[in-house]
Structure 1
């Protein structure tokens, strides 16, 4: 059972949730909100105090200035403030996708606050040999959003990320109508978050200097995804091997209990 809280940070009010007892573990995404991680958090709450939150500008975390861009550095400072509010000197951190990029920025900016970061499939496009092409693809996705809206932008995003069918096309969206909050979160992602997250270049020297331990996570079913390539590239630069997790990029959604066990092993 989660308790819900709010925290004022510079420029925003964060919504966060706390479950369980035991060592502190932050679980986060970007733009995914706390609700998306609820099944995983419940699966971990028997032996961890699990904290999830809505990133600034997403769902329940309200911005003073709705036009403010979201950067990994800003989100990392939010997480550091959250740890301070919890009275925690340090914590383990699991970040997936854009949340993994937030985690890398957290280690770079606040290294003493992180014991172990598990960075699950961070979309670090600047680490790829075709970074110029990926930068252009990101620009095109954002331009498509401004020109045609959320649906076409998601179609291009999913196709570029590698979520394609046997016909080479991006999968057809689920038939259910997105909620007003889903549409607002998507608009925020394309207009104010995607470019900063995809363009983040991690400081490998800082990441390997300690004291935080950085583990790169990769889905066993993610072989065809862009984030498989970026995860492998990050692990190579860190001089380590990626750790496998169940499923693909969103493995924690479909297999939360199995994913939780793999995460426990990675943190051990």
Structure 2
């Protein structure tokens, strides 16, 4: 198989209610959609390049993020709204049903798609969804989320990210947090970050899946967890989801963003999962 990490991506914008969805399409073959929240198309590009050797690969900037502008910039982003956007993209491409990999908030989007439009996805891989509602300490987690949002909106960006990492149980040295989120930064990254805190984080982490519906959908729902994520919030939430739908979680290389940190390691495991291995 061609292991080239560069392919030509065709980009376009799809008009949907209230937004224009920037998306990219690579390759030819069965359709695979790679979705994040707030991560956009660029975060998935290296993985998409690998899969495009024998798949049609869809990536997109979620509404309000990156190159997907909103008619109303103050509109909140919810998993159900993003799932409707994804459904419209899949229908627009006329290449479904698709295999969908969603990671982090994108995994919540993918689960919402499985519930609302199971006809459009034959396989949904939910990689580390932050489903706080499935955890016994949900009230504490929600309170911490509200605190980090308030700290961010008060202007303490680094402080908000410190709280975010602590709430997610992700060990990150303070100097790394300072380096990543302090000082001079790209204007678009700052705009996307503000939208995430102000309009996306709350709706994503408070979304509660319909476990009965997910057990009943014809699509195969796979719960993915990073091998390096043991004990983190999304590891706990993913295991709660897997238990709730009667599935065994599937381990993937890396941590919460393993698909971006080492796509060369992540891609073979994803191929195994999509093949049903």
Q: Same fold (TM over 0.5)?
A: yes
2:37 to 30, 38, 60: 30
* Aligned 8 A contact 1:94 1:119 in 2: yes
Gaps of 5+ in 2: 1-7
1:155 to 156, 162, 175: 162
* Aligned 8 A contact 1:142 1:190 in 2: yes
Q: Aligned equivalents of 1:182 and 1:137: distance in 2?
A: 23
* Aligned 8 A contact 2:227 2:253 in 1: yes
Q: In structure 2, do the counterparts of structure 1 residues 11 and 22 end up closer, same or farther at CA, with 3 Å as the change threshold?
A: same
* Aligned 8 A contact 1:100 1:118 in 2: yes
Alpha-carbon shift at residue 165 of structure 1 (Å)? 4.5
* Aligned 8 A contact 1:155 1:170 in 2: no
- Provide the residue aligned with 1:87 in structure 2: 94
Secondary structure (helix, strand or coil) at the match of 1:172 reads helix
Alpha-carbon shift at residue 217 of structure 1 (Å)? 0.3
- Provide the residue aligned with 1:146 in structure 2: 153
Q: In structure 2, do the counterparts of structure 1 residues 183 and 148 end up closer, same or farther at CA, with 3 Å as the change threshold?
A: same
CA-based RMSD of the aligned residues comes to 1.4
Alpha-carbon shift at residue 210 of structure 1 (Å)? 1.8
The alignment covers a number of residue pairs equal to 266
1:119 to 114, 118, 126: 126
1:76 aligns with 2:83: yes
Q: When the two structures are superposed, what TM-score results if normalisation uses the length of structure 2? A: 0.93
1:221 aligns with 2:197: no
Trace 1:169-184 onto structure 2 (pairs within 5 A).
171-174=176-179, 177-184=184-191
1:197 aligns with 2:219: no
* Aligned 8 A contact 2:158 2:177 in 1: no
* Aligned 8 A contact 2:165 2:172 in 1: no
- Provide the residue aligned with 2:192 in structure 1: 185
Q: Aligned equivalents of 2:167 and 2:185: distance in 1?
A: 22
Q: Comparing 136-145 with 22-31, which one deviates more in the overlay?
A: 136-145
1:96 to 103, 118, 134: 103
Alpha-carbon shift at residue 67 of structure 1 (Å)? 0.3
Measured against aligned partners, the alpha-carbon deviations of 1:207-249 in whole angstroms (never above 9, x if no partner) come to 1112111000000000131100001110011111110101000
1:56 to 55, 63, 66: 63
Gaps of 5+ in 1: none
Q: When the two structures are superposed, what TM-score results if normalisation uses the length of structure 1? A: 0.96
Secondary structure (helix, strand or coil) at the match of 1:63 reads coil
Q: Aligned equivalents of 1:264 and 1:102: distance in 2?
A: 21
Alpha-carbon shift at residue 255 of structure 1 (Å)? 1.2
